[in-house]
Amino acid sequence: MPEELTAEDPVTGEQITLPADVEVGEIIDSPVSGAELEVVSLDPVVLEEAPELEEDWGE
């Protein structure tokens, strides 16, 4: 099993390296763009910009 995976940063289009144990739904910080990215698929590895969390203040 590989120790690292590579995926395309959806913000910059550059290849970034991820740990082999990432999971779908995991949020990672891109070392290239600094954006928060969500792992949406593992085969192939697909990243998307993580949605901004909105506070509902209990409403």
37 domain-assigned: yes
Count of Cβ atoms closer than 10 Å to residue 37 Cβ: 23
Residue pLDDT, tens place only, 36-45: 999 999 999 9
The answer to whether residue 58 scores a pLDDT higher than 90 is no
15 domain-assigned: yes
Number of domains in the chain: 1
Q: What is the DSSP letter of 52?
A: P
33 domain-assigned: yes
Residues 39 and 18: their CA atoms lie apart, in Å, by 10
17 domain-assigned: yes
**Domain region containing 18:** 4-49
55 domain-assigned: no
Q: Residue type at 19?
A: P
Q: Average pLDDT for residues 13-18, to the nearest whole number?
A: 95
Tell me, what CATH number does 25's domain have? Answer: 2.20.28.160
pTM: 0.81
